[in-house]
Amino acid sequence: MDKILGMDEKSCIDLKNVSIGYYGIPIIKDVTFSITRGDAIVLLGQNGSGKTTLFKTILRIIPPLQGNVVYNNTPPVRFGYVPQSQSLDEIYPFTALDIVLMGTFGQIKPFSITPKKNRILANQCLMDVGMLESRKKLFSELSGGQKQRVLIARALAASPNILLMDEPITGIDADAIKMIIELIAMLHKKHSLTVMMITHESFNIPSWINKTIQIRNNEVVVENAR
């Protein structure tokens, strides 16, 4: 097992001696690893260990406290993100299609009418996750597994080449977990996506995962899974 993997010339993101945290207080220090194009990565660690903070640093939502996150923009890095929890005010009658269309908002100007091509894309993303027939159903009325599929479709609507998912199989039943894992495997292959997901279910790590990243005692340990 290596604490640090060497930088790869095919990498799309390199973290070099990165410290992450909030208000100048580090949660994890001296993080160095690469995300290579086509990787399928599982990120493991206890609650509060810094997994989501690491995601947000990679996503440029929060800056690193120290060190550099380097992006290889050939081709440009495009993120799709499925957050840990999704709070949508159920007062508003969002349909599954409405939720997925939110993923296309970065492609249009504010307050513009949603172009037809965006609706076509959203419907295609719903088809990819097996939810096209439910596109007119209210998001609030869907099961946990169905909601997760719709949120993955929303991330796909951003036309990403890197898909980051924060605990996509938490809070759903065993059958839904199996379906979500199979769905992610299919999307990884079909769209040639680089995939990185957080999970507490270490016993559920599928065989197609090629790298694990574990946060232990405020250190990051990277291991090739195969």
- Answer with the residue of higher pLDDT: 86 or 70: 70
Reference 155, options 145, 147, 163; nearest CA is 163
Predicted local distance difference test score (pLDDT) of residue 107: 59
Q: What is the dihedral of CA 133, 164, 42, 153, to 10 degrees?
A: 0
Judged by average pLDDT, the poorest of 23-27, 72-76, 108-112 is: 108-112
Rounded to 5 degrees, φ, ψ at 176 are: -65, -35
Query: Element (H or E) spanning 188, and its range?
Result: helix 174-190
The answer on pLDDT for 204 being more than 80 is no
Mean pLDDT of 26-53: 92
SS3 assignment, position 183: helix
Domains of the chain (ranges plus CATH)? 1-78+163-226 (3.40.50.300), 86-159 (no CATH)
Interatomic CA distance for residues 215 and 213, integer angstroms: 7
